[in-house]
């Protein structure tokens, strides 16, 4: 069986092993594949593994040998799932590998906003403390999280992990999720109105694309902090940038953007009090190792006739 990995570098830049896949077939790994090269690189391979390389309908039409598609991520919108389903091709994803790492990154962003550790350390390295007439200084207002309200939109595994961490900081937790229940679950309008910090953890669907927009921002508290480690298109970036510049939103921490990598002129790059990281919440080695193991298990289960984590 021929297995082709179209874009393996982000998962494994050299600190993991592809041996699990190699044990299951004749493996070819490409670091990156541009769209014009996808069909040629798949060729007659039966198994296609992709992370962010698109697999539109024309790829399935041109590569009839494909029997299985494995996505090296939780989100699978890069694959035309309907086209795969029509051909009886299972598409699998990796649903649970990054819970701890994403929750950790949420608080890395939030703590940088509230305490500015990186900014202050850089200022000390630049000699500002040595030149200070006082024994201490701060570059921006500092903020305690205790007794603040954390609003979590999307209350699955990651949202619940963020809630647990928030409680550890002494925060009150509110959550909105149409499929979740619990004493902390409230309607969206209540969450928007009462939260000091709002963190997004919902999947990207047609219904919630652009969920954070001019209208929902207007319903938030003045000076709210917004965090997005989920999907970039949940946010109308121009609306958020305007709210940051006006001060309606005090700060934002985002690990995802509408277009990745961002184009020149991306509204949030350089916006006031906006902290943007390059989609790395998932990327600690421990999380990537779990992802690799689950991806291999997904393929093994398919080959055994008992597919798991099928999204098609």
Phi, psi of 140 (to 5 degrees): -155, 165
CB 190 within 8 A of CB 143: no
231 in catalytic set? yes
H/E element, 300: helix 285-303
Active-site residue among 105, 120, 201, 231?
Answer: 231
Residue among 197, 165, 163 nearest 180 (CA): 163
Mention every residue, 6+ apart, whose C-beta is less than 8 A from residue 84.
55, 60, 69, 90, 91, 312
Residue among 153, 142, 150 nearest 205 (CA): 153
157 in catalytic set? no
Active-site residue among 32, 260, 263, 286?
Answer: 260
Mention every residue, 6+ apart, whose C-beta is less than 8 A from residue 305.
none
What amino acid positions are annotated as catalytic residues? 231, 260, 279
């Amino acid at each position: 069986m021929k297995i082709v990995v179209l874009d393996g570098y982000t998962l494994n830049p050299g600190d993991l092993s592809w041996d699990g896949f190699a044990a299951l077939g004749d493996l070819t790994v490409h670091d990156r594949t541009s769209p014009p090269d996808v069909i040629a690189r798949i060729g007659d391979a039966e198994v296609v593994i992709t992370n962010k390389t698109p697999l539109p309908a024309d790829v399935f039409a041109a590569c009839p040998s494909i029997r299985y598609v494995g996505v090296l991520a939780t989100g699978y919108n890069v694959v035309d799932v309907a086209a795969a389903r029509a051909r009886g091709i299972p598409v699998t994803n990796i649903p649970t590998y990054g819970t701890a790492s994403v929750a950790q990154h949420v608080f890395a962003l939030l703590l940088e906003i509230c305490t500015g550790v990186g900014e202050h350390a850089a200022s000390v390295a630049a000699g500002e403390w040595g030149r200070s007439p006082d024994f201490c200084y701060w570059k921006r207002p500092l903020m305690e999280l205790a007794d603040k309200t954390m609003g979590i939109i999307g209350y699955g595994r990651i949202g619940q992990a963020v809630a647990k961490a928030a409680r550890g900081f002494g925060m009150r937790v509110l959550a909105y999720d149409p499929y979740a229940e619990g004493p902390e679950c409230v309607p969206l309008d209540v969450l928007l109105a009462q939260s000091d910090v709002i963190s997004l953890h919902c999947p990207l669907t047609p219904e919630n694309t652009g969920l954070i927009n001019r209208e929902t921002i207007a319903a938030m508290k003045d000076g709210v902090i917004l965090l997005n480690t989920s999907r970039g298109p949940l946010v109308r970036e121009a609306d958020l940038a305007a709210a940051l510049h006006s001060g309606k939103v005090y700060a934002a921490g985002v690990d995802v953007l509408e277009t990745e990598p961002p184009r020149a002129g991306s509204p949030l790059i350089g916006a006031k009090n906006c902290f943007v990281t390059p989609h790395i919440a998932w990327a600690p080695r421990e999380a990537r190792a779990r992802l690799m193991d689950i991806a291999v298990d997904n393929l093994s289960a398919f080959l055994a006739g008992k597919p798991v984590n099928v999204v098609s």
